[in-house]
């Protein structure tokens, strides 16, 4: 086993900046990093080709669990955090996308809080002594001292100012997987219906569909009202990557005052927004962390789990109440959007969000896990042990992850500044979108 960590990336804007910050800490301590597309790095041929080291997975559903089990059979160690749990509250929220097979295969799991750690330990007692509380490095990059990385990340945002950002999240009813059958198949593969009572799981899924439809109806009514009644600001609609863009193109053709921003990193759009409006989405939490006002329009609570954003943002139950809150905010700077204080929710559910330490703590944990297997930084050359398979890329994969060498170089330089570390490294392109970063001193 060599001193290296493999970072499979699925959603570039969500995972790459924080993973590069962890990578900066690893490189500074003499560890090689391989970073590339999720689909390429978990392809079994490539698991066999990569020298045995440590994989860090970004979530723990059944699909990820299958990959964890596979890498372990080829001599690697599987570690993970859970990006799907960032906005979660309570045991049901923390465990909703945590599969049995991931719990079996995971040698090290990073929790975002002590509450998160305790919930997972209760759900999977066999994991209890394999959990480390680290926080989430996505929070690090949104701290005031680190926000400069978003200033010029998408120059289109500057041309739209001032604007209200309507961030949508309807990947079940307006899915890139097309119809209900396609969505159910993907959910099935991820383990959404695992358990003894499949009928109850299907009923939960149907309740989520109904919840999403109510959110969608409220959001589209508010958007139409805003375009008709609000003057002096622009309107930007940013769909979730799991949504079909064509649906929004057809809808916005009837609302010429709104602009569609497709397949974009949300952070620069949030950071430059006059106001962020959403329906229970993690972007509302990110808005608070980026210092932007946000409004959560949520007709009903989620049917299976609570979310931090319900407490971190002012939450209203109808589009009419949302319209009144927006009017107060835009006309007078008053009302719930201005007066709501998110600090209690953040301190309760993300107590380490101010520490700027999550990336370092995760790097520490990865290094300790490798040391437990007798591996320490430096002293081992990286060399493939077999042929590399170049995974074909479809449009959906490319929309999620499309990274070149320049992106890695620029992102790593920024990450090193955020991490407060210095190192020298060389970069080798292993395959399109997949790169080996080796410390050189």
- One domain, residues 281 and 182: yes
Read off the pLDDT of residues 196-253 as tens digits, 9 standing for 90 and up.
Answer: 777 887 888 889 899 999 999 999 999 999 999 999 999 999 998 888 888 899 989 9
| 305, 321, 349 - which closes a domain | 349
Indicate if the pLDDT at residue 187 is higher than 80: no
The total number of residues shown for the chain amounts to 441
Indicate if the pLDDT at residue 28 is higher than 60: yes
SS (H, E, C) the chain: CCCEEEEEECCHHHHHHHHHHHHHHHHHCCCEEEEEEHHHHHCHHHHHHCCCCEEEECCCCHHHHHHHHHHHHCCCEEEECCHHHCCEEHHHHHHCCCCHHHHHHCCEEEECCHHHHHHHHHHCHHHHHHEEECCCHHHHCCCHHHHHHHCCCCCHHHHHCCEEEEECCCCCCCECCECHHHHHHHHHHHCCCCCCCHHHHHHHHHHHHHHHHHHHHHHHHHHHHHHHHCCCCEEEEECCCCECHHHHHHHHCCCCCEEECCCCCHHHHHHCCCEEEECCCHHHHHHHHCCCCEEEECCCCCCCCEECHHHHCCEECCHHHHHHHHHHHHHHCCCHHHHCCCHHHHHHHCCCCCCCCHHHHHHHHHHHHHHHCCCCCCCCCCCCCCCCCCCCCCHHHHHHCCCCHHHHHHHHHHHHHHHCCCCCEEEEEEECCEEEEEECC
Read off the pLDDT of residues 389-429 as tens digits, 9 standing for 90 and up.
Answer: 988 888 888 888 999 999 999 999 999 998 999 999 999 99
Which segment of 5-19, 143-157, 231-245, 413-427 scores lowest on mean pLDDT?
143-157
Q: Residue 431's domain spans which residues?
A: 4-140+353-439
pLDDT band, very low/low/confident/very high, at 176 (cuts 50, 70, 90)? low
- One domain, residues 327 and 363: no
Indicate if the pLDDT at residue 149 is higher than 70: no
CATH classification at residue 152:
3.40.50.2000
* pLDDT of 399: 83
Query: Could you give the percent of the chain with pLDDT greater than 90?
Result: 75
| 307, 327, 349 - which closes a domain | 349
Mean pLDDT for the stretch of residues 70-99: 95
Mean pLDDT for the stretch of residues 377-383: 85
Residue with tokens 């002096």: 232
Q: Which residues contact 184 (CB under 8 A, 6 or more apart)?
A: 205
- One domain, residues 176 and 257: yes
Distance CA 271, CA 286 (A): 9
Indicate if the pLDDT at residue 125 is higher than 80: yes
50 token code pair = 């990569």
- One domain, residues 425 and 398: yes
- One domain, residues 257 and 332: yes
* pLDDT of 283: 94
- One domain, residues 105 and 92: yes
Query: Could you give the percent of the chain with pLDDT greater than 70?
Result: 97
**Higher-scoring residue by pLDDT: 191, 417:** 417
pLDDT band, very low/low/confident/very high, at 150 (cuts 50, 70, 90)? low
Read off the pLDDT of residues 319-337 as tens digits, 9 standing for 90 and up.
Answer: 999 999 999 999 999 999 9
* pLDDT of 420: 92
Rg (CA), the chain: 22
- One domain, residues 330 and 211: yes
- One domain, residues 13 and 160: no
Domain count, the chain: 2
Distance CA 26, CA 53 (A): 13
- One domain, residues 383 and 274: no
Read off the pLDDT of residues 280-323 as tens digits, 9 standing for 90 and up.
Answer: 999 999 999 999 999 999 999 998 889 999 999 999 999 999 99
Indicate if the pLDDT at residue 185 is higher than 90: no
* pLDDT of 204: 84
Indicate if the pLDDT at residue 375 is higher than 90: yes
- One domain, residues 80 and 117: yes
- One domain, residues 85 and 125: yes
Other Cβ atoms within 10 Å of 144 Cβ, number? 10
Which segment of 77-91, 103-117, 235-249 scores lowest on mean pLDDT?
235-249
Other Cβ atoms within 10 Å of 126 Cβ, number? 10
* pLDDT of 276: 98
* pLDDT of 152: 52
**Higher-scoring residue by pLDDT: 12, 199:** 12
CATH classification at residue 122:
3.40.50
- One domain, residues 122 and 225: no
| 314, 349, 384 - which closes a domain | 349
């Amino acid at each position: 086993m060599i001193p290296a960590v493999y970072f499979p990336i699925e959603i570039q804007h969500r995972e790459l900046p924080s993973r590069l910050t962890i990578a900066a800490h690893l490189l500074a301590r003499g560890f090689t990093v391989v970073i590339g597309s999720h689909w390429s790095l978990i392809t079994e041929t490539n698991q066999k080709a990569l020298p045995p080291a440590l994989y860090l997975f970004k979530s723990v559903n059944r699909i990820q669990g299958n990959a964890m089990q596979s890498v372990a059979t080829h001599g690697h160690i599987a570690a993970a955090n859970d990006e799907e749990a960032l906005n979660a509250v309570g045991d049901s929220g923390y465990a909703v996308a945590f599969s049995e097979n991931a719990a079996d295969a995971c040698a090290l799991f990073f929790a975002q809080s002590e509450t998160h750690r305790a919930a997972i330990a209760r759900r999977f007692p066999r994991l209890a002594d394999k959990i480390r509380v680290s926080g989430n490095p996505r929070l690090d990059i949104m701290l005031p001292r680190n926000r400069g990385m978003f200033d010029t990340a998408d120059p289109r945002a500057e041309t739209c100012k001032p604007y209200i950002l309507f961030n949508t999240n309807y990947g079940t009813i307006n899915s890139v997987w097309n119809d209900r059958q396609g969505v159910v198949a993907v959910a099935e593969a991820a383990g959404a219906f695992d358990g003894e009572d499949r009928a109850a799981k299907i009923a939960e899924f149907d309740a989520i569909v109904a919840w999403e439809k109510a959110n969608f109806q409220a959001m589209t009514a508010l958007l139409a009202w805003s375009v008709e009644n609000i003057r002096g600001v622009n309107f930007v609609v940013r769909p979730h990557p799991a949504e079909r863009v064509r649906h929004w193109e057809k809808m916005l053709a009837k609302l010429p005052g709104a602009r569609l921003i497709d397949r974009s990193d949300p952070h620069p759009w949030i950071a430059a927004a006059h106001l962020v409006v959403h329906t229970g989405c993690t972007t509302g939490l990110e808005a608070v962390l980026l210092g932007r006002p946000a409004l959560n329009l949520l007709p009903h609570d989620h049917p299976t789990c609570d979310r931090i954003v319900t407490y971190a943002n002012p939450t209203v139950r109808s589009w009419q109440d949302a319209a009144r809150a927006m009017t107060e905010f835009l006309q007078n700077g008053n009302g719930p959007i201005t007066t709501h204080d998110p600090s209690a929710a953040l301190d309760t559910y993300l107590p380490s969000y101010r520490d700027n330490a999550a990336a370092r703590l995760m790097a520490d944990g990865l290094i300790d896990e490798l040391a437990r297997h007798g591996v320490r930084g430096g002293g081992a050359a990286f060399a493939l042990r077999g042929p590399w398979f170049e995974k074909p890329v479809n449009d959906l994969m490319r929309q999620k992850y499309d990274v070149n060498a320049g992106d890695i170089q620029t992102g790593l330089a920024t990450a090193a500044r955020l991490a407060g570390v210095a190192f020298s490294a060389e970069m080798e392109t292993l395959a399109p979108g997949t790169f080996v970063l080796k410390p050189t001193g």
